[in-house]
């Protein structure tokens, strides 16, 4: 699903449930702010959990050795930060 498709579905759902006009710009602003807030929470606290959906956790990947697939030459891969997602049992059951 693309961002535009998410905005479309949410705007239709909100308009149907509230029986009022909701612009796509308003919905886009709310969705963008929600994801920005989730990102900030993960950065600050190291995790974000949404009941019924799952948990996002900040992780560290240590430096390691790798291999260039084209030349086969060994390379060093820098340490990095990443995010892991663990789906809730409710989400897993719905799949």
Tell me: the pLDDT tens digits for 37-68? 999 999 999 999 999 999 999 999 999 999 99
User: Are residues 83 and 59 in contact, defined by beta-carbon separation less than 8 angstroms?
Assistant: yes
- What pLDDT does 56 receive? 95
pLDDT at residue number 22: 82
The domain segmentation of the chain, as residue ranges, is 1-45, 47-95
CATH architecture, range 47-95:
Irregular (4.10)
Per-residue confidence (pLDDT) for residue 14, from 0 to 100: 86
- Predicted TM-score (pTM) of the model is 0.72
């Amino acid at each position: 699903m693309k961002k535009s498709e998410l905005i479309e579905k949410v705007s239709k759902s909100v308009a149907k449930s509230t029986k009022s006009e909701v612009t796509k710009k308003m919905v886009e602003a709310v969705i963008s702010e929600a994801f920005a807030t989730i990102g900030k929470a993960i950065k600050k606290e190291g995790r974000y959990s949404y009941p019924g959906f799952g948990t996002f956790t900040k992780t560290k990947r240590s430096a390691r050795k790798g291999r260039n697939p084209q030349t086969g030459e060994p390379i060093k891969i820098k340490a990095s930060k990443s995010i892991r997602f663990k789906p809730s049992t409710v989400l897993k059951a719905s799949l």
